[in-house]
Structure 1
Amino acid sequence: MKVEQIYTGCLAHAAYYIESNGEAAVFDPLREVQPYIDRANKDGAQIKYVFETHFHADFVSGHLDLQKKTGAQIVFGPNAKPGYEALIAGDGQVFEVGDYQVKVIHTPGHTMESTTYLLIDEAGRQHGIITGDTLFIGDVGRPDLAQHVVSELTEEKLASHLFDSLRNKIMPLPDHLIVYPNHGAGSACGKKMSEETTDTLGHQKEVNYALRADMTREEFIGELLTGLTAPPGYFPQNVLMNIKGYESLDTVMKRGNQPLSPAAFEAAANETGALVLDTRDAETFAKGFVPNSVNIGLGGDFAPWVGELIPDVQHPILLVTEPGREEEAVTRLSRVGYDQTLGYLEGGFDAWKQTGREVESTGRMTVAELEALASKGEAPVIIDVRKRSEYDSEHLLDAINIPLKEINEHLAEFPKDKKFVLHCAGGYRSMIASSILKQRGWDDFADIVGGFDALKKSHLPKSEYICPTTLL
């Protein structure tokens, strides 16, 4: 049986495509659906079904546009209540895609409508399971997301449902089945996913902590809930878009791909209160940018950081990009529901600068310069914007940890009466933090060139945290 995994690294997202005898199906598609249509056209196939494993939180699915463009039937599992036409399948229901079969296995726990799809080949052999966020490679789906949409669905209740789904629906299946999850390492939908994006079910039964055969319900719930961090703020908004519906991507792209002269760009920013989002790399941004811009570079985890730091997916956005990357930026914003891009600065930052309009820059400091200040007893306050787990692993001895994702709640902790420096691991996140602070009125600070990767090679004193369990 041929199953094609279509993986998008910036979201750690996997969609799936199957085709048999002129019929095709797509599972958990991304917002931009033309690649799936092109894939089916290449096979001379008609997309018959769009199967959704659940109402996704971390991205806006492309099921509605795929239905409109191909006539495909949208399929959800039991308990789903979408605000648009869709087939709500029963547990055990079988769908035919050419000579293949797709069997619905209701596996609530990540969400109550979560469904696994069992793939059966043309000879009637069970081939694999498309598990959505129920089962990952090395992990299972976090059970605390649905409660942000339906309050009575506590994480404990959902974890208990997931325990039953795994024991009663997934683990009894044959070991040879290939597990096809919706996400890989880097997704916020789990806590310790493997870098691998497929595996056999039998191997997962051996190595996945959540599939231990001797695990009690209480042990499962305890281990699953331990170490969960707060989900990104945009997740509930994406869930609602996937439940209720959304604008066509064609409409979003047409609105966002509007070239604006510097004068028109400035007028639009003033009239709409739009956020000016600069997607260039950190080094280029630091040298000069449109005043009040926020820098989130396309070269990093762009969409997830947009989702972490811009609270409202409906907030209007104006883009500054490297020329030629405007469409990419609008597309990647739309994947996580930020549909209100109003246009981009035609000609990029250079066009703005050439008009003589005001520009800003942000300070940068090398590790050698920081070492020189420290040797004279003049070291500035050091603020580490990495995750707490990174900080706990190793950090500069006197550094203060304010994770980037929490920056808006901790602005008062950034000093205004003394100089400070920022760093992350390599410079991507610290430049985001720098741009936010500049926008909010801070000036007397610098970003460390190369981040902690460079600081580790310095002679500055460091503190390393050793987890007690490593001493056993």
Structure 2
Amino acid sequence: MLDQSPSAYRGRIVLIGLLFVFGIIIWYIGRAWLQKNDDPATPVDATETVDTSLANVRFLTAKEVLARISRQENLILLDVRTRNEFDVEHIVDSLSVPVTTLATYSPPAGALLIIITGPDIPNQTIKGIDTLFKERQYTFAFLQGGLTEWNEAGGSTISTGDPESLLDYSKVIFVNLDEIEVAFNAAVNPRFLDVRSKELFEKEHLPEAINIPLNELEKRRSEIPRGTSLFVYGANDYESYQGGVRLFDLNFFGTRVIKDGLIGWKEKGLPLITPETKNVPPQKKDDSQ
């Protein structure tokens, strides 16, 4: 039977107390160990390996680069990702110079190069670019955080126009060909913008349309008249859609995209300008008459 004497009872109390204190000590030790391993700010033990390969590489934050742009400093935004990555989305006015072609790149004198990399680029590649540009005595810095930090800082980017992207789709206002006359007449200073190639434009185009090919919209955006209501079209729905997305990214808001593009326009038998014919462009209705 269990000893019920006072001395035995006191012994059990002491034992329980010791076990309780021991449990608390173990709990505190375990919690401290977990915090050390979970907290990235915890100093690493001197025996552990620390990656210091980028310690001497210069980085600028997106806000710092945007401030330099606002001061109109001589900057060149150099995107060293692959051409496919560049086409999907890139910073407005940046240059595509994939890392595989950097050895042949020669920047203008006096410019500060801002190097844009992707999230998956190895540190060794960054170190290699850093070494190459230092050997050539270029003035340069890497964009810290890449496109992610750039977007978070409010920097402008332009995308190719992914038809499966909800974000890109939200940038576009479609207008059906059945509605085009009403929409055109109701718009303020309406203009057609043809984003097909120059060769296709010269063969046939909509009345009074201006032509800036899709892949030239970014660098030739100053040619697009401000204060106009743009109706953009391409050879087909996809090209028209891409034009609308890119114009939105270039701050041409409210652009209408003509659904079905030039193909649908021709199927409807609507007027076209060709080398052999001259058609009267759509006229705005005069409400005073």
TM-score scaled by length of structure 2: 0.40
**RCO comparison, higher one (Cα < 8 Å, 6+):** 2
TM-score scaled by length of structure 1: 0.27
Structure with greater proportional strand content: 1
Structure with greater proportional helix content: 2
